[in-house]
C-alpha cells in the first residue's frame, strides 16, 4: 500500500514521539503528520468499552477531519491486583480526565499495600488505521510489574511510565530511550504489525 502522508492522531506528545520515530524509520517515503501540523484541536471522546472500539473510532474521527490516511491508538494499563484496572479507562480512572500527576499518585496509593510478588501488570496498545475505505487493527502487549514508588521523571502524557518495569528489565519505561522502548513496548509491537501491513 502506497501512502504519501500519514496522520498520527494524538494530542499526547509522548505517544506521538514514540510512534513518529518508528514510522519515519520504517516508512521513509511517507510524510508523518501530527494534529498540530494541521491545526486540529478537536478531541475525540473515548466512549468505547474496548481498546479496539476507541482506536478505530478515533482513527475515523480524525480521518474525517483531515482526509489523510490516519492511525490512532488506545492504550491502557491492566493491573492484576486491581482486578484489571485501570484498563480501557486508564486516562479517566478517577471518573474524569486526570492529570499525569493525579494518575501517578492514584496508582501508587492503590498499590501501597500490595506485596512485591503480586504487583504484576500488562500494558496494552491497540492501533487502528483508516483511509476512508480500509480498516486495520493491531494489538501489542507488554508484561511487567508496578514499582512501589516513582522511579524517574515520567514521560509527558504517559504517567504510568515512571512505575512500570517491563519484564526482564531493571529500568522503568520512562528510563528507556525511545529506541529501547520501541524494541519491547506494547506500542512498538502494535506499530510493527501495522507497519508490516502498510508495507
Summarize the confidence of residues 163-183 as an average pLDDT: 90
Q: Would you give the distance in Å from CA 119 to the centre of its chain?
A: 21
Between 185 and 140, where is the model more confident?
Answer: 140
Is the omega angle on the peptide bond into residue 66 within 30 degrees of 0, that is, cis?
A: no
| 170/152 Cα distance (integer angstroms) | 12
- Please report the beta strands in the chain, taking only residues with DSSP state E, as ranges in sequence order: 5-8, 31-34, 70-79, 86-87, 120-130, 135-146, 164-166
Mean pLDDT score, 44-49: 90
Task: Kindly tell me if the per-residue pLDDT of 44 is higher than 90.
Answer: yes
Name all domains of the chain by residue range, CATH numbers in brackets. 5-198 (3.90.950.10)
- Percent pLDDT > 70 in the chain is 100
Task: Give the per-residue pLDDT at 41.
Answer: 96
Residue 99 scores a pLDDT above 80? yes
Residues with a catalytic annotation lie at: 74
Per the DSSP assignment, residues forming a β-bridge with 76 are 124
Taking the C-alpha atoms of residue 128 and residue 130, their distance in angstroms, rounded to an integer, is 7
Q: What is the H or E stretch that residue 59 is in? A: helix 51-66
Average pLDDT for residues 151-180, to the nearest whole number? 91
For range 122-127, the mean pLDDT: 96
Give the pTM: 0.87
- pLDDT score for 18: 84
Say if residue 77's pLDDT is above 90: yes
Give the per-residue pLDDT at 20: 93
- Grid coordinates 484489571 are at which residue? 84
pLDDT higher than threshold 90 for residue 51: yes
Burial 12-23 (b: 16+ CB within 10 A, else e): bebbbbbbbbbb
8 Å CB contact between 151 and 172: yes
Using the predicted structure, report yes or no on whether residue 28 has a pLDDT greater than 90.
yes
Higher pLDDT, 108 or 2: 108
Arithmetic mean of pLDDT over the chain:
93
Amino acid at each position: 500500500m502506497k501512502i504519501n502522508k500519514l496522520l498520527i492522531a494524538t494530542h499526547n506528545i509522548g505517544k506521538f514521539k514514540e510512534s513518529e520515530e518508528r514510522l519515519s524509520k520504517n516508512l521513509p517515503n511517507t510524510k508523518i503528520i501530527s494534529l498540530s501540523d494541521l491545526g486540529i484541536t478537536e478531541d475525540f471522546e473515548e466512549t468505547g468499552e474496548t481498546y479496539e472500539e476507541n482506536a478505530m473510532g478515533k482513527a475515523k474521527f480524525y480521518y474525517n477531519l483531515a482526509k489523510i490516511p490516519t492511525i490512532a491508538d488506545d492504550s491502557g494499563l491492566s493491573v492484576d491486583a486491581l482486578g484489571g484496572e485501570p484498563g480501557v479507562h486508564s486516562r479517566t480512572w478517577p471518573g474524569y480526565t486526570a492529570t499525569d500527576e493525579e494518575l501517578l499518585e492514584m496508582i501508587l496509593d492503590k498499590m501501597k499495600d500490595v506485596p512485591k510478588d503480586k504487583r504484576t501488570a500488562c500494558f496494552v496498545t491497540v492501533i487502528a488505521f483508516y483511509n476512508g475505505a480500509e480498516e486495520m487493527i493491531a494489538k501489542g502487549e507488554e508484561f511487567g510489574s508496578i514499582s512501589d514508588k516513582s522511579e524517574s521523571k515520567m514521560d509527558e502524557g504517559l504517567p504510568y511510565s515512571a512505575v512500570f518495569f517491563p519484564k526482564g528489565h531493571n529500568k522503568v519505561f520512562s528510563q528507556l530511550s525511545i529506541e529501547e522502548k520501541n524494541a519491547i513496548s506494547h506500542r512498538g509491537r502494535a506499530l510493527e504489525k501495522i507497519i508490516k501491513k502498510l508495507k
